[in-house]
Amino acid sequence: MGLLAAALLVGCSAPAVSTPSAPEAPTPASTAERADVAEHLMETVQENDEEAFSATFAADVDPEFVAMLWTNLDLIDLSLVEERSDGTWRVHWKVPGEQGVATHLIAADVECDSSGCLIAGLGQSGTSPEPIWLVEPISIQHTAYVALVGGGDLAGWQIPAGEASAFLMASPTDDLVQQASTQVVEVPGSTEAFEKVMGASALDFADAGAITWVANSGGDEDTVSAAPPRVVINPDTTQDADKTSRNLLLVHELTHAATSWLGHPADGQLWVSEGLAEHLMLQTSDAAAQASNQVLLDHCPLSDAPPADADFADPSKSELAYAWSAAAINMLLAERDTGHSLHYLWITAGEQPELIGPVADCG
C-alpha cells in the first residue's frame, strides 16, 4: 500500500452523487492486516519516505498531527512497531545515543476497505504511559551526559542538567552510581502532556519535582535491549524553580537513574536509595546541606534506626526521613570501603546500618 491507495481513498471520500451504490464503509482491520500496517509504517520511517508515511494515515486524520509525528520521529530512533495479541501496538524507541530501548504500548485504530488499510488514529492506550513524541512536538538538546527531550523548557534545564550530570560523573561513590553516557530527561511542555507521559493524573505528583522510572509500559516480554531509566520533569511544580533548585533536583533524580541497575531497594531499605540521592544532592549546595542538618537538630534526640519506606511518602515525616538518610549515607561513605556495604544494605531487607554514632550532634 502506498500513494495509489491513498489517492483512491481521497477519491472515494467525495460525495457519490451520481453513483447508485453508497460509499463502502471501512471496517476494522484484522490482526494480520494491523500487523502489515505496523510493518509498513516502520518501513516508511526507515526509508525516510515522508509521502509514504503520510499515506498510511486515513484522510480524516489531522494532517498537523501526522506532520508532527513525522518531524518527531526524525529526531528519535524508532526501531520497531509491533502488533500485539491484545490489539495494541508496541513501539520500541530511544533517543540517539541512549543505552537501552524504551517500549510503550499505544492504541492504533486501523481501518480497511477494498483499496487497503489505513491508520485512522494513534494515541494513548487506556491509561498506559504514552511516548512523548506521540503527545506533543518535541526537540532534543544534548548537554554533558544528558539528552533533554520534549516540548517543554529545554533551555531552562540545559545548564542545570549539564552541571548535575558532570558532578555525578565525578562523584566518589565507587561502583554504585553508574551514570549512562546519555541519560534521557523528558521535559513535557504542559500538564496534559505530563499526564499522558506518566499515564496518571498530575495530582499523583503534586509534591514531586520529577520522577525517575524505567521507560517500559509494554509488559514483561523480553525485548532486544533492557528499557532505560528516564527522568520526567513535572512542569507544574518546577515552572518557577530557579537554576539552583533545578540543579539540586537533577542531582537527586540522576542519582536514582544511575542506581536503577540495582533494582528497587529491598523492603525497608528505601532509605539507602533516597539517602544516596539526597547525600549527593547536598554535596552541591552548602545552603541545602545546612538546612538538612537543621532538620535533624530540630528532631533531637534522633533515632539510630532508619526511617520506614512509607515515611518518604508521608508529608509529616518525609523531611526528617530524607535528612536522616542523607546523613547516614554520608557517615557510611566516610567510614568504610563503601561500595559493597551500601550495595548489601540496598538489597538486604531490614538490614540496619552500623553507624559509629548519631547522624547529627544533638549536644
- Binding footprint of Zn ion on the chain (CB under 5 A): 274, 277
* Least distance (Å) between residue 106 CB and Zn ion: 29
DSSP labels, 23-67: PPPPEEPPHHHHHHHHHHHHHHHHTT-HHHHHTTB-TTS-HHHHH
Distances (CA, A) of 6 to 46, 112, 157, 244: 20, 12, 42, 52
Q: Which is nearer to Zn ion, 138 or 251 (CB)?
A: 251
Q: 109 forms bridges with which residues in the sheet?
A: 121
Map residue 164 onto helix, strand or coil.
helix
Q: Which is nearer to Zn ion, 89 or 271 (CB)?
A: 271
Task: Give dist(CA 148, CA 151) in Å, integer.
Answer: 10
* Least distance (Å) between residue 241 CB and Zn ion: 16
Q: Which is nearer to Zn ion, 155 or 261 (CB)?
A: 261
Task: Give dist(CA 312, CA 315) in Å, integer.
Answer: 8
Q: Which is nearer to Zn ion, 190 or 283 (CB)?
A: 283
* Least distance (Å) between residue 168 CB and Zn ion: 14
Here the cell at position 30 is: 484484522
* Least distance (Å) between residue 322 CB and Zn ion: 8
Helices (H), the chain: 3-12, 31-46, 50-54, 63-75, 132-135, 154-169, 191-198, 235-238, 243-258, 270-283, 286-298, 318-335, 338-347
Q: Which is nearer to Zn ion, 80 or 289 (CB)?
A: 289
Q: Which is nearer to Zn ion, 93 or 157 (CB)?
A: 157
* Least distance (Å) between residue 176 CB and Zn ion: 15
* Least distance (Å) between residue 318 CB and Zn ion: 10
Q: Which is nearer to Zn ion, 120 or 277 (CB)?
A: 277
Contact 238, 211 (CB under 8 A): no
* Least distance (Å) between residue 1 CB and Zn ion: 48
Q: How many CA atoms lie less than 13 Å away from 26 in the CB half-sphere?
A: 19
